[in-house]
Amino acid sequence: MTAIRSLCRTFTITAATIALSGAAFGVAGTAHASTDSLCSQAYLPLPDPSCTPGATNPDVTQSTINSTICVSGWTATIRPSTSYTNKLKTQGIADYGYSDTSLSDYEEDHFLPLELGGAPKDPKNLWPEPHSGSENSYSKDSVENAVKKAVCAGKTTLAKAQNAMLTNWTTAESVLGIG
């Protein structure tokens, strides 16, 4: 799994992400945190797009939102186990070259959230998001919930919401006109 994850991080950006984002994230900075790091911290609070481009769940489409993401508790039915995500988190902490290696200081986060049709187990959609900083895993959760609420209320489409989150979750609410 580690070899596959590293290979995916190094060489792929999914067609779904390209179609959704329309561009390669447009965030400045490409320097690696250390010479041993595979992934750059320069994009924080976003993941390095070459390592974590995001990936979609093919079961979630605009036509299925009322039976998937808009159903209370649905994400619990697809969320991967912590035994699965902790292995990825450990590898991701090393790949990002974080000096703090305590697992409890990170959330193995779905870059494209499950509640917006993110792929649950695809390593291209999971990364160790820090709990520290002003724009962190906790603040992203509230953005995810607001954007999902807008999609389910018909205030925006799933595709627009996914694009906004993948482009820059910190601006997603304002880009969608819901914040």
pLDDT tens figures, 11-50: 333 333 333 333 333 333 222 234 457 999 999 999 999 9
Q: Residue 36 has what pLDDT?
A: 59
- Domain extent for 49: 2-176
CA–CA gap between residue 95 and residue 98 (Å, rounded): 8
DSSP state at residue 56: B
Q: Residue 37 has what pLDDT?
A: 75
User: Which residues does the chain have with pLDDT short of 50?
Assistant: 1-35
CA–CA gap between residue 125 and residue 17 (Å, rounded): 10
Q: Is the pTM of this model over 0.85?
A: no
Domain count within the chain: 1
Among 51, 46, 44, 115, residue whose Cα is nearest residue 79: 115
